[in-house]
Amino acid sequence: RSYVAGARCRSAARLEGKVVVVTGANTGIGKETARDLARRGKVIIACRDTAKAEAAASEIRAETGNEQVVVKKLDLADTKSIREFAEKFLSEEKELHILINNAGVMLCPYSKTADGFEMHLGVNHLGHFLLTFLLLERLKQSAPARIVNVSSLAHHGGRIRFHDLHGEKSYNRGLAYCHSKLANVLFTRELARRLQGKSQSSAEFTANALHPGSVHSELVRHSFVMTWLWKIFSFFLKTPWEGAQTTIYCAVAEELDSVTGQYFSDCRPAYVSPRARDDETAKKLWSVSCELLGIQWD
C-alpha cells in the first residue's frame, strides 16, 4: 500500500502574503491541494459548482483556521465565464503567485463546450490555456511565480489530431482524454520556453506539468465501467490526498525555484512521451489554440 501511495511533498514552505488559485478544488486532488496550501497562505478555489466549492472552502477554513480561503465561480467549458472570472480576479487581487490548473473532465460522452470545442480539449486544455493567458501579467508582476498544470500518464496514449481536433470525424472518449492530457504537457513545454525567453531570470516564472497518479476520485463518474473498476481496485489507487502530493510539490518545493518546462510524477522528474517532446507540435498547438480562442499571445 505504501508503494501505491507514492512520494510525499516534504516542503514546509510558507506562503504568507502570497495568493494561490486552484481550479476544480471542490473535490478530489484539487480539494486536497487547496487544503494543504491553505495551511500556508491565501487560496482561491475556482469552480463551476459554487455550492460544492463553498462547502469545501468552509471545511478547509474550519480545519486550517485560515479565513483566506475564497470561492470564485469559473466554468472552464465557457470562455465567457473564464473571462468574467479573470476580470473579477484582476479587479480584486493585486497579486498572484501560483496558478494551479487542476480541473478536468474524463471519459465524457461526446459533447461540446459553450464555444463549440470538444469537451475534453475545451476544458482540459483550451480553458486553462485561456485562463493562463488572462492571468499571466499578474503572475509576472508578482514574480517569482509558478504555473502548475495537472496532466496525466495518459498523455502517452495521446496525439494532437489537428485535422479533427473536435472529434467530429471520429470520437473515442478514452482517447479524447489522452489527447487533452498530451496537450497539457505540450502547452507547459511551450509556455516554459516562451517565459524563459522573455524573462531576465529563469527563476522569475516557472511552468511545470505533472501526473498525480491513479487516484480514487470522481473523475471517472462519466463511465459506469470505470466507476465500478475504481471501487473494486480502490486498494491499488491513491487517495486524493496522496494524489495531491506532486501538485503541492510543484507548487511550493524550494528546489524547483528555477526548474521549468518539466514533467513530474511522485515528486520527481518523470519520463515524457516522444510526442510530448515535439517542439514543432507544441508551437503549432499554441498557434491553433490562439486562433480558436481569438487571442494574440506572442
Domain ranges of the chain: 15-293
100: enclosing H helix or E strand: strand 98-101
3-state helix, strand, coil in the chain (%, to 5): 50, 15, 35
| CA dist list (Å): 233 to 31, 155, 238, 246 | 22, 22, 10, 22
- Residue 252: what residue type? V
The bridge status of strand 268-269 relative to strand 263-265 is antiparallel
Q: How far is CA 84 from the centre of its chain?
A: 19
149 neighbors 110 (Cβ within 8 angstroms)? no
CA distances to 5, 26, 65, 92, 251 from 217, rounded to whole Å, are: 14, 12, 26, 32, 21
Q: What is the pLDDT of residue 224?
A: 47
> Are the C-beta atoms of 294 and 181 separated by less than 8 Å?
no
Task: Report domain 15-293's class.
Answer: alpha beta
Strand order in the sheet with 69-73: 69-73, 41-47, 15-23, 98-101, 145-150, 205-211, 263-265, 268-269
> CA 122, CA 166: separation in Å to the nearest integer?
9
> In the numeric block, which cell numbers belong to residue 176?
479524447
Catalytic residues: 177
**Phi, psi dihedrals of residue 155, rounded to the nearest 5°:** -60, -25
Q: What residues contact residue 2 under an 8 Å CB cut-off, 6+ apart?
A: none
Q: Is the pTM of this model over 0.85?
A: yes
Take residue 3 and report the three cell numbers written for it.
Answer: 508503494
- Euclidean distance between CA atoms 147 and 105, whole angstroms: 20
pLDDT tens, N- to C-terminus, the chain (298 residues): 454 668 899 999 999 999 999 999 999 999 999 999 999 999 999 999 999 999 999 999 999 999 999 999 999 999 999 999 999 999 999 999 999 999 999 999 999 999 999 999 999 999 999 999 999 999 999 999 999 999 999 999 999 999 999 999 999 999 999 999 999 999 999 999 999 855 444 458 999 999 998 765 555 454 445 454 445 445 457 889 999 999 999 999 999 999 999 999 999 999 999 999 999 999 999 999 999 999 999 8
**Do you know the residue count of the chain?**
298
> 277: closest CA among 189, 204, 208?
189
The reported pLDDT for the residue numbered 227 is 53
Instruction: Look at residue 238 in the predicted model and tell me its pLDDT.
Output: 80
- Give the helix/strand (H/E) hosting 124: none
